[in-house]
């Protein structure tokens, strides 16, 4: 874990060494003060060398002013280095999350992932900044104190060295318990973040069913688990800190008591005991700092472990080593004996064979759960087939780059996701380098231009979270404008009008017809009236493709399609 964390220092070695050099100077001032004071009291004052004495005191004042400057550098630039590392980790983690397939997001809650990107990484970089600095400062002060104490009075130094291992053993023992408790807290933070995210995004549903109390109780249960985990962590922390305070205090008492005994025996001068007492303070400070570091290490490494676990998740859908860009796409699509299952042992699609000629429209209909959405999700490689192959213009989609594949496909879904931004930027998402004129041209093709002009700020109108400030029809037409702007060779309409009323659907259907012109189009629809004019219709259910043909042919067969058509007409 430490080696993995160390690589994030590499781009900022200049700041890191500046931090360490300043820490070294701070330790030097700390160690010098008791020794210089001893010399001044023991030598200069008895000789009445008052000018020299005050000159030494002035030198110490200057040293402490320099130490103040060093502490500023450590506090400011050290934290800046930490921020740089945090942003690097966030960038790396976010880029990694973008590569993970939809299957990963099917199995992980948003709140847990948010906790790993935010809370965990903050604590990691706090350790990354303070850890090396505290360790170096503590080591220098501890070793320096022992060496100087050994010069002053070796028996006292030996006593302290004999007691230090007790402190070290206690620190290691309690740190393990704190690390375990810290990891539990992080898991509970992820759970409660997930509950909050779910409750906020589902606020309308909760109000519609008058289930606010249920949501509050559900949150309270999660909050209770978090509270329990925090209490356990704070208990371990309290045991650790109180134990450390007891041990360090006993060290101080033992040192003074033994020093007093040495004075009684005539083996030590009073001024040496005074100097020794000052050095015991210098000796105990790094021990307390190490105690704080142990807590910070437990929390920070728990967060870094969770970070590395997430980074270790391998993307299952990646470009093949020999992948080539998909260019000059005509739009001939073929599914060849395609098999797929989300979970082992439960096949959703089995032996699917379909072909769609360039520029033609294929409609896929059938009951819910028959695999229609799964079928079209395989085309842009949101999931990979278990067996068989999908080709575009004769090329296996697993042998072309994901970027070029998805650029060739435009998808309009039932649940339209608009980002919390303006109408203009939501349309521009179809092609990020599009001009304002191109955005407006796409809106006109989608027949949403006039609606946008009537909005409070026109194209600069903020659409709200997930587009909640727009009607269902407006959201759908913004998504259509987005596809017009993208201008893909292949179009997928996944139940794109099923959530709309009949009047709105009729208006949007015209936009879809215009959008589908000269494009290979796959349509999934519950309302069969919208697919009557498709070049071919496929009826699919849990048993696979049951019927295929034009609307007229399938009606004449008097089979499953006709039964479905008459049932919902």
Is position 287 within any domain?
Answer: yes
Average pLDDT, stretch 169-185?
A: 75
Residues 123 and 249 occupy one common structural domain: yes
Residues 268 and 369 in one domain: no
Position 281 confidence tier, pLDDT thresholds 50, 70, 90: low
User: Number of structural domains, the chain?
Assistant: 2
Name, in order, each residue with C-beta under 8 angstroms of 13's C-beta and a sequence gap of 6 or more. Answer: none
Q: What proportion of the chain, given as a percentage, has pLDDT over 70? A: 89
Please report whether residue 182 resides in a domain.
yes
Q: Are 480 and 345 contained in the same domain?
A: yes
pLDDT of 399 reads: 92
Q: Does 461 reside within a domain?
A: yes
| Rounded distance between C-alpha atoms, residue 491 and residue 356, angstroms | 12
342 and 301 in a common domain: no
Interval 406-463: pLDDT, tens: 888 888 877 777 888 888 988 888 888 889 999 998 888 888 888 889 888 898 988 8
pTM to 2 decimals? Answer: 0.66
Please check whether residues 179 and 303 belong to one and the same domain: yes
Token pair 């970070």: residue: 307
pLDDT in tens, 33-55: 777 776 777 777 777 777 888 88
Residue 146 lies in a domain: yes
In a domain, 354, yes or no: yes
Convert the pLDDT of each residue in 111-156 to its tens digit: 677 777 777 788 888 888 788 888 888 888 778 777 777 777 777 7
User: 279 and 347, same structural domain?
Assistant: no
Same domain? 175 vs 285: yes
The CATH number given to whatever domain includes residue 16 is: 1.20.1560.10
Kind of pairing between the strands at 346-356 and 333-343: antiparallel
Q: What is the pLDDT of residues 457-504, one digit of tens each?
A: 898 988 877 777 888 778 888 888 888 888 888 988 887 665 556 666
**CA neighbours closer than 13 Å in the CB half-sphere of residue 40:** 17
Query: Are 230 and 338 in the same domain?
Result: no
Strands 395-396 and 387-392, how do they pair? antiparallel
Note down the domain range covering 557: 333-568
Is residue 438 domain-shared with residue 478, that is, in the same domain?
yes
CA dihedral 91, 94, 100, 102 (to 10 degrees): -160
User: Same domain for 345 and 295?
Assistant: no
- Check whether residue 89 and residue 218 sit in a common domain: yes
383, two tokens = 């999931």
Q: What CATH number does residue 484 fall under?
A: 3.40.50.300
pLDDT of res. 209: 58
Taking the C-alpha atoms of residue 278 and residue 36, their distance in angstroms, rounded to an integer, is 11
Query: How many whole angstroms from its chain centre is CA 431?
Result: 26
């Amino acid at each position: 874990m430490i080696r993995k964390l160390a690589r994030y220092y590499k781009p900022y070695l200049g700041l890191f060494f500046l931090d360490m050099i300043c820490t070294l100077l701070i330790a030097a001032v700390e160690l010098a003060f008791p020794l210089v004071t001893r010399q001044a009291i023991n030598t200069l004052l008895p000789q009445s060398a008052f000018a020299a004495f005050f000159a030494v005191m002035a030198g110490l004042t200057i040293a402490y002013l320099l130490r103040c400057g060093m502490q500023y550098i450590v506090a400011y630039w050290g934290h800046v280095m930490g921020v740089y590392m945090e942003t690097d980790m966030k960038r790396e983690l976010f880029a990694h999350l973008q590569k993970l397939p939809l299957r990963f997001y099917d199995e992980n809650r948003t709140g847990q992932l948010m906790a790993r990107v935010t809370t965990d990484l903050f604590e990691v970089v706090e350790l990354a900044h303070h850890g090396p600095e505290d360790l170096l400062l503590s080591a220098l002060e501890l070793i320096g104190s022992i060496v100087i104490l050994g010069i002053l009075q070796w028996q006292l130094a030996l006593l302290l060295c004999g007691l230090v291992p007790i402190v070290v053993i206690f620190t290691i023992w309690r740190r393990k318990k704190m690390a375990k408790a810290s990891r539990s807290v992080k898991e509970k933070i992820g759970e409660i973040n997930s509950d909050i995210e779910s409750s906020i995004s589902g606020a309308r549903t909760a109000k519609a069913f008058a289930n606010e109390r249920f949501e509050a109780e559900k949150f309270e249960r999660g909050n209770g688990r978090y509270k329990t985990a925090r209490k356990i962590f704070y208990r371990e922390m309290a045991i650790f800190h109180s134990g450390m305070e007891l041990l360090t205090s006993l060290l101080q008492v033992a040192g003074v008591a033994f020093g007093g005994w040495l004075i009684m025996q005539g083996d030590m001068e009073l001024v040496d005991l005074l100097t020794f007492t000052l050095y015991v303070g210098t000796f105990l400070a790094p021990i307390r700092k190490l105690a704080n570091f142990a807590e910070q290490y437990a929390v920070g490494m728990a967060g870094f472990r969770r970070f590395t676990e997430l980074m270790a998740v391998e993307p299952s859908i990646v470009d093949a080593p020999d992948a080539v860009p998909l260019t000059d796409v005509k739009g001939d699509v073929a599914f060849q004996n395609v098999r797929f299952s989300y979970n082992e042992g439960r096949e959703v699609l089995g032996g699917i064979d379909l072909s769609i000629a360039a520029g033609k429209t294929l409609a896929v209909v059938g009951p819910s759960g028959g695999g229609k959405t799964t079928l079209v999700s395989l085309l842009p490689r949101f999931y990979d087939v278990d067996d068989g192959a999908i080709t575009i213009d004769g090329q296996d989609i697993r042998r072309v780059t994901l970027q070029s594949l998805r650029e060739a496909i435009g998808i309009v879904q039932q649940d339209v996701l608009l980002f919390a931004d303006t109408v203009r930027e939501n349309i521009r998402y179809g092609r990020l380098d599009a001009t304002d004129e191109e955005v407006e041209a796409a809106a006109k093709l989608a027949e949403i231009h006039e609606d946008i002009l009537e909005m409070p700020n026109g194209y600069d109108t903020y659409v709200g979270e997930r587009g909640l400030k727009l009607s269902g029809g407006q959201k759908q037409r913004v998504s259509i404008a987005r596809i017009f702007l993208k201008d893909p060779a292949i179009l997928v309409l996944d139940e794109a009008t099923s959530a709309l009323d009949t009047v709105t659907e009729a208006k949007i259907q015209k936009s879809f017809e215009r959008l589908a012109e000269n494009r290979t189009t796959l349509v999934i629809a519950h309302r069969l009236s919208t697919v009557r004019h498709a070049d071919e219709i496929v009826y699919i259910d849990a048993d696979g493709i049951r019927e295929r043909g034009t609307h007229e042919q399938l009606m004449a067969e008097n089979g499953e399609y006709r039964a479905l058509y008459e049932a919902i007409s």
